Amino acid sequence: MSQSPFQKFVAPKKNSVKKEEFKQAKKKAKKERAAAINARFDEKRKLKQEAWELRQKAKESEAARGIVETTKNKLPKGDGQEAKGTRPISHDLKAQEIKEQGTRSKIAPIHKKDANAVEMPLNKYLAHCGICSRRDAVEIIKKGEVKVNGKAILEPAFKVSNNDDVVYNNKKVFVTKNLVYILINKPKDYITTTDDPQGRKTVLQLTKSATTERIYPVGRLDRNTSGVLLMTNDGELTQKLSHPSYEVKKVYEATLDKPLTKVDFDKIIAGVVLEDGKIAADSLGYVDPKDKTIIGIEIHSGRNRIVRRIFEHLGYDVKGLDRVLYAGLTKKNVPRGKWRFLAEKEIRQLKYINKTKLSKDASK
C-alpha cells in the first residue's frame, strides 16, 4: 500500500506548497464569506422593500378614501340635515388616523423581530451561552435543570429568544459574544470534562489562566490519550466539528505491544466489525519502516475509544496513543501540557471546514 497519506511522518511538505495551499484556501474562504454576506443583505433589502410597498399601498388607499369622503361631505344638505350616506369630515380624519396607526404597527415589527427576537432551540441557546456543547445541553435540559421564564423545560427543541429569561444553576445565562478558541497539547492522566466528582485532574486546570470565559472541550480524548485538543465556547463550531457529516479528520500515532502484521494492516484498511458496527481507517502507515510497532492512523469517526478498540479487536495492546492532528490543527510548538490561542486564519479555516464538499453532496 502507498505511504503517501502519511508523508507527514517521513517527508513533510515544502513550505512553498503549504503556503500555496493556504493561499488558495484563504481565497476560497473569502469568496464564500462574500457570497454569504451578499445573501444576507439581499434578504434585508427584500424585507425593507416589502415594508415600503405595504406603506405605499396603505397611503394610496387612505388618500383615495379621503377624496371620496370629502366629496360626500360637499353634497347639498336639506334643512340643516346631513345628506344621506355622509359623515362629518372630522370623523373621517379620525378614522383615517386610527387606520394609519394600525398599518404602522403591523409593518414596524418586521425589522424589530429580526433584530431583537431571533429564536433558536433551547439546546443551541445554551451552547451559544458557553454552558456546554449542544449534545451535552440535551442531557441537561432533559434532567429539568433549565428554566425558561420561570418554568422548567424538558424539550431541547423548545424555541427561545434573547428576550426570554433562561436560567441554569439558578443563574440567568446570556449568549456569549466573546468567543475563545484554545488548542491544548493534552498530557496523560487528564480527563476531558469540565469537572469530575472523583477529583481527578481535568483539562480545564491546564487553561485556568487563559480566560475568564467558560470554555469546554470539543470532542473527547480518554484519560490515557495525549495530543491535540480544542477548547472553546463557540457552540456552533463545536456542533459542526462533532457532526459526522463534516468528516473531521484525526490522525493518531499508536504505539503497540508488538509489530503490526501485514494481514492485520490490510484488515484495518478493509474494515473490522466491532460491537457497534463496521469501521475502517481512512489511511494507515508505519511511522518508522524499521519499527512496525509505531503506527500512524487517520480516521474521521467520532466513536468512543475507536482507535484503541480497532487494535484491541485484532489482539494488540495499545501502549501509547497520541493525537497529532485534529481538523487541520497540530501540536507544533506547543509542549505537552501547554496551550495557545488559535490564530484568526485557523479559526476561519475551522468554520469553513469541508463546506465545499458538503455543498457538492447536497447538490447530488
Indicate the SS3 state at residue 183: strand
Contact 315, 33 (CB under 8 A): no
Contact 233, 128 (CB under 8 A): no
Phi-psi region for residue 170, left (φ > 0), alpha (ψ -120 to 50) or beta?
left
Q: What is the DSSP letter of 126?
A: H
The type of residue at 268 is I
Residues 6+ apart with CB under 8 A from 311: 254, 256, 317, 318
Indicate the SS3 state at residue 66: helix
- For 29, the grid coordinates are 474562504
Cα–Cα distance measured from residue 137 to residue 124, given in angstroms and rounded to the nearest whole number:
8
Cα–Cα distance measured from residue 287 to residue 295, given in angstroms and rounded to the nearest whole number:
6
The active-site residue out of 114, 222, 288, 361 is 222
Rg, C-alpha atoms of the chain: 31
What stretches of the chain adopt beta strand conformation (E)? 120-121, 146-148, 151-152, 159-160, 166-168, 171-172, 181-186, 216-217, 225-232, 250-256, 272-274, 277-279, 283-288, 291-299, 318-326, 329-330, 339-341
Cα–Cα distance measured from residue 209 to residue 126, given in angstroms and rounded to the nearest whole number:
24
- Is 222 catalytic? The answer is yes
Instruction: State the greatest distance between any 2 C-alpha atoms of the chain, in Å, as a whole number.
Output: 119
As annotated, the active-site residues are: 222
